[in-house]
Structure 1
Amino acid sequence: MRKLQSAHGGSDPGAVYNGRQEKDDALRLTLAVGEILQNHGIDVEYTRTTDVFETPIQKAMEANQAGVDLFLSIHRNSFPTDNEVSGVETLVYDLSGLKYQMAQDINDQLEAVGFVNLGVKERPNLAVLRRTNMPALLVEAGFINSDVDNQLFDENFQDIAQAIAAGVLDTLDSQGIIKDEDYRVQVGAFRNRRYAERLLNELLEKGFPAYIDDSGPYLRVQVGDFDDMDDAVQMEQRLKQAGFPTVIVK
């Protein structure tokens, strides 16, 4: 089980810039990342799903009591001078172990989206990193007082959520913690074969390597069979640009 923490909340807005509040961006991104992880068979538990406040120590204690095996805290960064610094960084208790590898993987994925990669930083004084009993990471998804980062955040939101999830999944996969399975992009699921075949033909006409998976109760129209999640993400982006609704499955 993975614990996802959305920064701040309730009476604590976090960093604020031109009316934009960190707590709102963090919650929205946390829920999007959690949904992707759940679609890949990961059990996800949240510290909050609404606008409520808990202290960092309370969140760490909740994770310890729940017995989760990974703690991921999602934030937006801030700098004393507006529009002077931009980029992403991930904070860990120390530069070792699974958490360090995962932090690097997440940063690399976010850099591919377009962010400046500011690296992985050691922060042993942060409660959510110091007081948690499991590997813990704090992801700073761009600076909230950077217009460049905010534009990236708004225009590439789903890609950012996908990047964070991909960093988590790639690390867990490489460590043998989750079973290595192929990734596929699902475009539709039907009980009626005629509807499934209609969508299949539309995809094939547009040049997508689509097929129907009839192994379950639904006829699932899918594209590709990828060993690497990055390849699946690229295909998903192509399908979205073509106007198809998508979800990556295993």
Structure 2
Amino acid sequence: MAYKVMIDAGHGGADFGATYNGRQEKNDNLRLALAVGEILSENGIDVEYTRTTDIYQTPFEKATLGNQSGADFFISFHRNSSPEPNQYSGVETLVYDKSGEKLDMAENINGALGELGFQEIGVTARPGLVVLRRTKMPAVLIETGFLNTDQDNALFDSQFDEIAQSIASAILGTLDEQTVETPSAENPVYYRVQTGAFKNRANAENMLYELQDKGFPAFLLYQDGVYKVQVGAFRNLSNAVKMENTLRRAGYSTWIDASPASY
């Protein structure tokens, strides 16, 4: 199934969002929203944006754009703030209520960012937020660290590419989870992290042996005319996301594959 995702960069224009030492939340939100959207597009997701420039929209306008797009998911990017500088730290995801696909996606995003060093505050139900209440599709609002906490800003800046990739991977992993066959005792679904696909078996084996030498549970799979190098077989998607982040930090390009055990 082809998915469409509406990406929302929170605030914009005259609405700066949180501010700290000249830093404006609206700019961080837009930069990260565009980066995640680009990765999703490269992986076959139909992506639309509430904004791609520095313009102001009311929350109701953002929700309306999402509804008019016919998107399957609405993902809003924000950064948190506290009454005093350096008072709090961590990532948090907000949802209308703690149920369904939106909760799965929120938990996966939290876990992926936690692997990068953010403290995981958790998933919080915020039914009063317009972009969560007025959207007709599952919606998640990501608070990517506190804008007025130096530690979170340093992590946001130094690992920006990894943050974008981790969020995108968590989204893609959740979408994969929705499209695979419903697992059963006879046919459970496992998540495997793919690090490469090669026409030449020798090239695949070189990567396989390299991964195994580093202690990764890697294996080789021949399918559709290519040799696929994959790592692990996880029943829990969040564990696969954690492995994916570990492999990315080790320098590998990855993709989460979901398939029945008999695959």
What is the TM-score normalised by the length of structure 1? 0.75
- List runs of 5+ in structure 2 lacking aligned partners: 182-188, 259-263
Corresponding residue of 2:18: 15
Corresponding residue of 2:72: 69
Matched pairs, number = 244
- SS of 1:138 mapped into structure 2: strand
Corresponding residue of 2:124: 120
**Cα distance change of structure 1 residues 241 and 97 upon mapping to structure 2, 3 Å threshold:** closer
**Cα distance change of structure 1 residues 237 and 96 upon mapping to structure 2, 3 Å threshold:** closer
Q: Provide, for residues 83-123 of structure 1, a one-character-per-residue CA deviation record: whole Å limited to 9, x for no partner.
A: 22333333344x46437734862585255653251651425
* Candidates 209, 230, 242, aligned match of 1:201: 209
**What do you get for the CA RMSD once the two structures are aligned?**
3.6
**Cα distance change of structure 1 residues 139 and 164 upon mapping to structure 2, 3 Å threshold:** farther
Query: Bigger shift: 28-37 or 17-26?
Result: 28-37
Establish whether residue 220 from structure 1 lines up as the match of residue 223 from structure 2.
no
Shift of 1:18: 2.6
Counterparts of 1:198 and 1:107, CA distance in 2? 32
Identical aligned pairs, as a percentage?
A: 43
What is the TM-score normalised by the length of structure 2? 0.72
Corresponding residue of 2:29: 26
Counterparts of 1:212 and 1:171, CA distance in 2? 25
**Cα distance change of structure 1 residues 91 and 10 upon mapping to structure 2, 3 Å threshold:** same
Counterparts of 1:78 and 1:54, CA distance in 2? 20
- SS of 2:179 mapped into structure 1: coil
Indicate if the aligned counterparts of 2:102 and 2:138 stay in contact, CA closer than 8 A.
no
Counterparts of 2:173 and 2:239, CA distance in 1? 14
Establish whether residue 234 from structure 1 lines up as the match of residue 237 from structure 2.
no
Corresponding residue of 1:188: 196
Counterparts of 1:243 and 1:70, CA distance in 2? 30
For 2:229, the aligned partner's letter is V
- SS of 2:224 mapped into structure 1: coil
